[in-house]
Structure 1
Amino acid sequence: MSGADDGRDVFEEGLGDALRRTGDGFSADGPALIDGGVLRGRRRLRRRRTGMVSASVAAMAVVGLGTSYAAGAFDATGGSGRSGGVAAQPGPKEAKKEAAEKKGSKGSKGSKGSGADLSGGQVLRILEGLLPDGEFSGKEGRGTADQLGPLAHLVYDDGHGKAAIGVSVGSVDPDGASVEEQLRCPDKRFVPYDSCTSEKLTDGARLMLMRGYEYPDKRAETKLWSAYLVTAEGYTVSASEWNAAAEKDAPVSRPQPPLGIDQLKDLVTSEKWRPVMRAIGTAPAEPLAQPPARGLDKASILKTFKGLLPERVRVTAEGGQESEYAYLVVDDGKGATLLQINVQPDMRDVAGDLYGNGAEKLPDGTLVSTRKGSGDDKGGAGIVMWTADMMRKDGFRVVVSAFNSGSQSTDATRPEPALSMDELKSIALSGKWRES
């Protein structure tokens, strides 16, 4: 690594992947149903609305089972500037006012840092001082005055092999919905890991610890262990470590990352990070989340979805996010199939991006697109993804996809999904979605 930008790219990409728990686990096949899941119904960015997001079902399914992680606990702290965290979602003035009142003296603008700024070198020295004796190399740091927020990354060697370790500090609204999502352990169906715990500490802070993998499909033996702390005031400390000198494209250098799970906890909960926190200040309050529109909540989507399945399949697992996205795992006696669905309101502004020249236009103006493609570029071997995507004239959209396995991160267990393309198309076009 030759500069701050290189360090930021290497470390932040890894941190983002770590708690996104989704980015490398799954992939989107063109304008698939990913956008609704990734955005949890809050289609913030045009790029995401059109489905062109690197994370799919984990950003849908762990975003469906974890939008939590599509937002990214590490991104929330490291990439949003001095006042921190997950960007506040635009909402009605009333919601903003109510959220500000709820925060009392904190207000909706957060607070400026009360402490002196620290340089990147000082932040690095805090990390070095918290690690057991060893040799350090590849050191990169970012100070509290940096718009992207403070960060420390280094390669640590305790005599048993080199390991990349990094920490970022930031702030979020401690009462915001995004915090709950980021602290929630993901569904193992989408993000395999060895262990994950989420707990509230005696001082009111909340902590998530996870022992997982750099690649959810485990195509390499690179392990990724991470910790994410949110203090009662809303400061965050995010840490990640690998059993290699870099999170990607580096050979495994040791069986496990160097810090045990208890040591990771000690690292992020250390009082040594307090000067960094004081320098960056608190984050603004998140506007209160709006309840899902009728028929777009998870319970309604699952009920309708199950009612439209062919009788030959039985449901073996289900889940989703609070609105617009759900998933089912079904079995017809010949192996499991993962089914995912997004049900979205007015999407007319991106209809041109979602439906190209190959789309079918029905007499009532409904646009329909079907796709069959590989789903194994970032998932299990031999995975195929079949998708039926429809949009009504008013922009109401239903997208349903099927895989030839019960998880996209595991190898295919059957030649084709349990549902045919015609059956997927029938589900997407059903009038039952408007009756929910």
Structure 2
Amino acid sequence: MSAADDGREGFEDGLGVALRRTGEGFTAEGGQLVDVGVQRGRRRLRRRRAGAVTGSVAALAIVGLGASYAAGAFGSDAKTLSGVAAKPSASQSKTPGEKGKPGKKGAHGTGPQLSKEKVIAVLEGLLPKGTVSEADGRGTADQLGPSARLVFDDGHGKSAIGVSVGAVDPDGSDASDRLQCPDKRFIPYDSCTMDRQPDGSALLLMRGYEYPDKRVETKLWHAFLMTPEGYTVDASEWNAAAEKDAPISRPEPALSIAQLKTLVTSDKWRPVMEAIGEAAPEPLAQPPAQGTDAESIQKKLTALLPGRVHVTAKGGQDAGYAYLVVDDGKGETLVQINVQSGMGDVRKDLFGHGAQKLPDGTLVVTRQGPGDDKGGAGIVMWTADTLREDGFRVVVSAFNSGSQSTDATRSQPALTMDELKKIALSQTWQQG
């Protein structure tokens, strides 16, 4: 796998995936809704192998769409709904690395299996008066999980709607990840709220956009419900007949946010939930290495910045990622960094031809190029990627704007490539 492939994988792990997952059934390619468990497992593998390349700015965290945005999505300004389920944490009894036990209801639950036609019928039955076309989906026995998708027209224009039903460990990281609003630094949205329902379920409602840079004004409205048992109902709708590559057909999606809430909270989904059964508890994740939490990374990165810049914003995740927005008086620059250990297995993939080897064995690769095809106009990305002999990796990137999803505000980043290399090679990162 080349460095370019790695960057694409990192991008698919975040920016391009999460806002598309529910709507993939509406694309010309005829993709399908992807079960959250399957997708998250693949995402974790890709993130491990690709090393969460920061250049992808996988930072658009609408977490109910089947895949959390990988890096930087949940910044310091992100809101989190904690204590989703009012019961003792199942993960507290597990030791690091212990495999979860099967769910209470087994692989197929206690209820009868439902065909895709019956799952689609549930969605159709919850819609207001109108016409339905292009309906498709999956039944509860499908290994990717049940889903329904269709195009709905209430007489005011077509609107694509997709729903999937799944199950997660309500005490696991997947649940907490999926119940957070994104950092507006990375994705614009009109509103995002999180509430607890009377039955203890957690509900996220968001009115956003299909494209973070709004190059097409396709609106994406989203609702994600998680019950106390961990069952999820995940719905999205667009103001077009498809999530992409279709003209806008109405000012807003067909269902109001209130109607979207009613749809995902309906008891009509209960037979679908019972057919799939509860999820197994997640293994307790290994805690991050000392000094690799977002706050520590932010502090270290701030101390390593040249004196001519000052920090205007910051955020990140606990899993080795953080970002700063800096300004040298000539415009903002987004600077993001990943700090990772045990990455020796990407040595050949990312540090092959063209890599510089320092006397202590550290490998260094630098890259300059477009931010990516999803970013704002004129965005460029400069990256310094380093790998120590023990597999310790630090990769830092800078952009010529304060956000990758907005147009460039300057010709090049505020930090030079030499400064990025100096930051990435600093011994500070291996200090607790």
Instruction: Determine the structure 1 residue equivalent to 2:292.
Output: 296
Q: Secondary structure at the match of 2:424?
A: helix
Instruction: Determine the structure 1 residue equivalent to 2:18.
Output: 17
Instruction: Determine the structure 1 residue equivalent to 2:72.
Output: 65
- Relative to structure 1, the CA distance from residue 48 to residue 94 in structure 2 (aligned partners, 3 Å threshold; closer, same or farther) is closer
Q: How far apart are 1:345 and its partner, in Å?
A: 0.6
Q: Secondary structure at the match of 1:292?
A: coil
Instruction: Determine the structure 2 residue equivalent to 1:306.
Output: 302
- Relative to structure 1, the CA distance from residue 381 to residue 281 in structure 2 (aligned partners, 3 Å threshold; closer, same or farther) is same
Figure out how many residues of one structure are paired with residues of the other and give that number: 381
Alignment match of 2:226 (pick from 227, 230, 240): 230
- Relative to structure 1, the CA distance from residue 93 to residue 150 in structure 2 (aligned partners, 3 Å threshold; closer, same or farther) is same
Root mean square deviation, CA, Å: 3.0
Give me the whole-angstrom Cα distance separating, in 2, the residues matched to 1:14 and 1:384: 16
Q: How far apart are 1:51 and its partner, in Å?
A: 5.2
Give me the whole-angstrom Cα distance separating, in 2, the residues matched to 1:371 and 1:230: 41
Q: Secondary structure at the match of 1:136?
A: strand
> Contact 2:122/2:269 (CA < 8 Å) preserved in 1?
yes
- Corresponding letter in the other structure for 1:411: D
Q: Secondary structure at the match of 2:118?
A: helix
- Corresponding letter in the other structure for 2:18: D
- Relative to structure 1, the CA distance from residue 399 to residue 53 in structure 2 (aligned partners, 3 Å threshold; closer, same or farther) is closer
Q: What is the TM-score normalised by the length of structure 1? A: 0.81
> Contact 1:196/1:210 (CA < 8 Å) preserved in 2?
yes
Per-residue Cα deviation, 1:42-64 (whole angstroms, up to 9, x for no partner): 99425752258899213488533
- Relative to structure 1, the CA distance from residue 55 to residue 143 in structure 2 (aligned partners, 3 Å threshold; closer, same or farther) is farther
Q: How far apart are 1:201 and its partner, in Å?
A: 1.2
Give me the whole-angstrom Cα distance separating, in 2, the residues matched to 1:51 and 1:431: 20
Give me the whole-angstrom Cα distance separating, in 1, the residues matched to 2:305 and 2:121: 58
Per-residue Cα deviation, 1:63-119 (whole angstroms, up to 9, x for no partner): 333379xxxxxxxxxxxxxxxxxxxx9xx983365966xxxx956x95641111111
Residues 1:218 and 2:214 aligned together: yes
Q: How far apart are 1:391 and its partner, in Å?
A: 0.8
- Corresponding letter in the other structure for 1:229: L
Give me the whole-angstrom Cα distance separating, in 1, the residues matched to 2:182 and 2:273: 28
- Relative to structure 1, the CA distance from residue 356 to residue 97 in structure 2 (aligned partners, 3 Å threshold; closer, same or farther) is closer
Instruction: Determine the structure 2 residue equivalent to 1:208.
Output: 204
Residues 1:424 and 2:404 aligned together: no
- Relative to structure 1, the CA distance from residue 414 to residue 303 in structure 2 (aligned partners, 3 Å threshold; closer, same or farther) is same
Sequence identity percentage: 66
- Relative to structure 1, the CA distance from residue 20 to residue 145 in structure 2 (aligned partners, 3 Å threshold; closer, same or farther) is closer
Give me the whole-angstrom Cα distance separating, in 2, the residues matched to 1:39 and 1:135: 34
Instruction: Determine the structure 2 residue equivalent to 1:276.
Output: 272
- Relative to structure 1, the CA distance from residue 332 to residue 55 in structure 2 (aligned partners, 3 Å threshold; closer, same or farther) is closer
- Relative to structure 1, the CA distance from residue 187 to residue 235 in structure 2 (aligned partners, 3 Å threshold; closer, same or farther) is same
Residues 1:392 and 2:380 aligned together: no
Q: Secondary structure at the match of 2:96?
A: helix
- Relative to structure 1, the CA distance from residue 121 to residue 253 in structure 2 (aligned partners, 3 Å threshold; closer, same or farther) is same
**Runs of at least 5 residues in structure 1 that lack an aligned partner in the other structure:** 1-12, 24-37, 69-88
Range with greater deviation from structure 2 (109-118 or 155-164): 109-118
Q: What is the TM-score normalised by the length of structure 2? A: 0.82
Give me the whole-angstrom Cα distance separating, in 2, the residues matched to 1:46 and 1:132: 40
Q: How far apart are 1:377 and its partner, in Å?
A: 1.2
**Runs of at least 5 residues in structure 2 that lack an aligned partner in the other structure:** 1-13, 25-38, 62-68, 76-90
Give me the whole-angstrom Cα distance separating, in 1, the residues matched to 2:323 and 2:401: 13
Q: How far apart are 1:202 and its partner, in Å?
A: 1.4
Instruction: Determine the structure 2 residue equivalent to 1:50.
Output: 50
Give me the whole-angstrom Cα distance separating, in 1, the residues matched to 2:53 and 2:218: 24
The within-5 A match list for 1:271-420 is 271-420=267-416
Instruction: Determine the structure 1 residue equivalent to 2:65.
Output: none
Give me the whole-angstrom Cα distance separating, in 1, the residues matched to 2:237 and 2:16: 9
- Relative to structure 1, the CA distance from residue 15 to residue 63 in structure 2 (aligned partners, 3 Å threshold; closer, same or farther) is closer
Give me the whole-angstrom Cα distance separating, in 1, the residues matched to 2:293 and 2:16: 30
- Corresponding letter in the other structure for 2:384: A
- Corresponding letter in the other structure for 1:357: H
Residues 1:141 and 2:148 aligned together: no
Instruction: Determine the structure 2 residue equivalent to 1:29.
Output: none
- Relative to structure 1, the CA distance from residue 15 to residue 144 in structure 2 (aligned partners, 3 Å threshold; closer, same or farther) is farther
- Corresponding letter in the other structure for 1:95: P
Per-residue Cα deviation, 1:294-318 (whole angstroms, up to 9, x for no partner): 1212222111111100011110111
